[in-house]
Chains A and B, each alone.
Chain A
């Protein structure tokens, strides 16, 4: 069975601080995909990144970066120089190789204050 754990329920930072959101996963599959989504108050889940299990290269997109480490089954997400607009709930998710169901963590609520 697959499982995603986001141990941080809520994080509060001051604008311009760096913040890392943790994600630990469990799966017996050798091929799998990891995702991060952002959910603003409107409810829509906004896709941020997808990473397959064979690609452990870290990725950077603007102020966002992701660190994938299979050895520790972690896929952490860092926001550099956070902004108020980054305030949202962030979800980490895992899917089987066939790309069917997404298994989500419980999410981390990030609050960035001015």
Chain B
């Protein structure tokens, strides 16, 4: 049973560029969330996708956008990269419809460095 998979694992971008990160949820899961984790901090919620729509969004600018595909996989796009966007980006998957607080599984993340 495949867990949450993310790609790429590491990447380096230049300020002003755009980046796309990808996530495949755990088998059987239909909901994908994205988190940003700066060094030495806890993960911060970016947004969540369910049924190909953004269901909830955290306090992140519009430069951060996402997409969910019919197979439940998801992409996180960040435009006009800033140095402060350097972080570990974590994808989490879960199954909607269970009692609230269903177990949420995380991938190993994508390490983004902006130079």
Answer yes or no: A102 CB below 8 A from chain B CBs: yes
Scan B65-83; emit 1 where CB is below 8 A from any A CB, else 0.
Answer: 0000000000000000000
Q: Distance in Å from the Cβ of A11 to the closest Cβ of chain B?
A: 15
Residues of B with Cβ closer than 8 Å to A? 33, 35, 40-45, 48, 55-56, 58, 88, 90, 92, 94, 98, 100-109, 111
Answer yes or no: A45 CB below 8 A from chain B CBs: yes
A43 near B45: Cβ-Cβ < 8 Å: no
Once bound together, how far apart are the Cα atoms of A44 and B108, in whole Å?
4
Once bound together, how far apart are the Cα atoms of A19 and B48, in whole Å?
34
Once bound together, how far apart are the Cα atoms of A105 and B44, in whole Å?
10
Q: Give residues of chain A (12-31) contacting chain B, Cβ–Cβ below 8 Å.
A: 31
Give the size range of A's interface with the partner.
20 to 34
Once bound together, how far apart are the Cα atoms of A47 and B104, in whole Å?
7
A102 near B100: Cβ-Cβ < 8 Å: no
Residue numbers in A under 8 Å from B100 (CB-CB)? 31, 33, 95-99
B108 near A43: Cβ-Cβ < 8 Å: yes
Answer yes or no: A75 CB below 8 A from chain B CBs: no
B56 near A45: Cβ-Cβ < 8 Å: no
B107 near A100: Cβ-Cβ < 8 Å: no
Can you name the residue of chain B whose Cβ is closest to the Cβ of A6?
B42
Can you name the residue of chain A whose Cβ is closest to the Cβ of B43?
A104
A100 near B106: Cβ-Cβ < 8 Å: no
Can you name the residue of chain B whose Cβ is closest to the Cβ of A96?
B100
B88 near A95: Cβ-Cβ < 8 Å: no
Residue numbers in B under 8 Å from A100 (CB-CB)? 33, 48, 55-56
